[in-house]
Amino acid sequence: MRLRNVKGSRETIAVSQFVIQDEESMKGKWREKFGNDNPIHIEIGMGKGKFIIQLAKENPNINYIGVEKFSSVLVRAIEKQTEEQLPNLFFIRMEAEYIGNVFDKGEVDYIYLNFSDPWPKDRHAKRRLTSVQFLERYEEILAEGGGITFKTDNRPLFDFSLEQIDEAGWIKDNVTFDLHNSPYVEGNVMTEYEQKFSEMGNPIYRVVFHPNKK
Ligand code: SAH
């Protein structure tokens, strides 16, 4: 995402009813917040929110939470949600590393990672959202039967992610190196980056996986 300082974005976030202001106080209380026992799905690094807003519209019986660290893009998602007023969608502005402070053990049913930052330098590998360090954090918060879908057009990041999934002992349900020309494309909801990069002719890689809980 472009690191543009959108004027007033911090102020917009601070007063939005769709942004959880004190996210750590919500740990273990998300179902209360939504007022029902529906499953909770989160997208980490949601950017301007195109994907999660569409999912929330299409699936009123699933609760969605979008996590994004940058105000400048989060504010775009807030603008759309202010028009839509979807009761099953909230946002958090935070660094994903601390996700375990915000969700209790087993509180999250599904995680989406879409076009996560590649962090190409080896010394930054731990910051990649599909590193074993992050997978351990996700395993803590995922409910039994939960899983993750990861999409990217970045081949080195995808290859790294497949290795990390194996290293963490997680199970791959399916892998495709060309999502848009595979049977898995049915029902695929495009993200903003996915649209942009597939229009440029890049293949989209996708893996669906889950922890090996005994
Ligand atoms: N998912 C969107 C945006 C992809 S760009 C899409 O597919 O179109 C990646 C986004 O993830 C950026 O907005 C970036 O700010 C956010 N992000 C990257 N690392 C993050 C982290 N550690 N915590 C929270 N957000 C993160």
Band (9; pLDDT cuts 50, 70, 90):
confident
The mean per-residue pLDDT over the stretch 20-34 comes to: 97
**How many of the other CB atoms lie within 10 Å of CB of 76?**
18
Q: Is 68 in the pocket of ligand 1 (CB under 6 A)?
A: yes
Cα of 44 vs centre of ligand 1, distance in Å, is 7
Measured distance CA(211)–CA(2) in Å, rounded: 33
pLDDT of 178-210, one tens digit each? 999 999 999 999 999 999 999 999 999 999 999
Band (213; pLDDT cuts 50, 70, 90):
confident
Task: Please say if the pLDDT value at position 35 is more than 90.
Answer: yes
Q: What letter represents residue 190's amino acid?
A: M
Measured distance CA(62)–CA(41) in Å, rounded: 7
The ligand 1 atom at the shortest distance from the C-alpha of residue 112 is 1
The ligand 1 atom at the shortest distance from the C-alpha of residue 70 is 15
Task: Please say if the pLDDT value at position 4 is more than 80.
Answer: no
Cα of 113 vs centre of ligand 1, distance in Å, is 8
Measured distance CA(68)–CA(45) in Å, rounded: 5
Band (49; pLDDT cuts 50, 70, 90):
very high
- pTM recorded for the entire structure: 0.96
The mean per-residue pLDDT over the stretch 65-82 comes to: 97
- Long-range CB contacts (< 8 A, 24+ apart) of 129-132? 129/44, 129/45, 129/96, 130/157, 130/160, 130/161, 130/164, 130/165, 131/160, 131/164, 132/164, 132/167, 132/168
The ligand 1 atom at the shortest distance from the C-alpha of residue 95 is 23
Q: Is 193 in the pocket of ligand 1 (CB under 6 A)?
A: yes
Please tell me the least confidently modeled range out of 12-16, 42-46, 84-88, 169-173: 12-16
Predicted pLDDT at 8: 82
Q: Is 154 in the pocket of ligand 1 (CB under 6 A)?
A: no
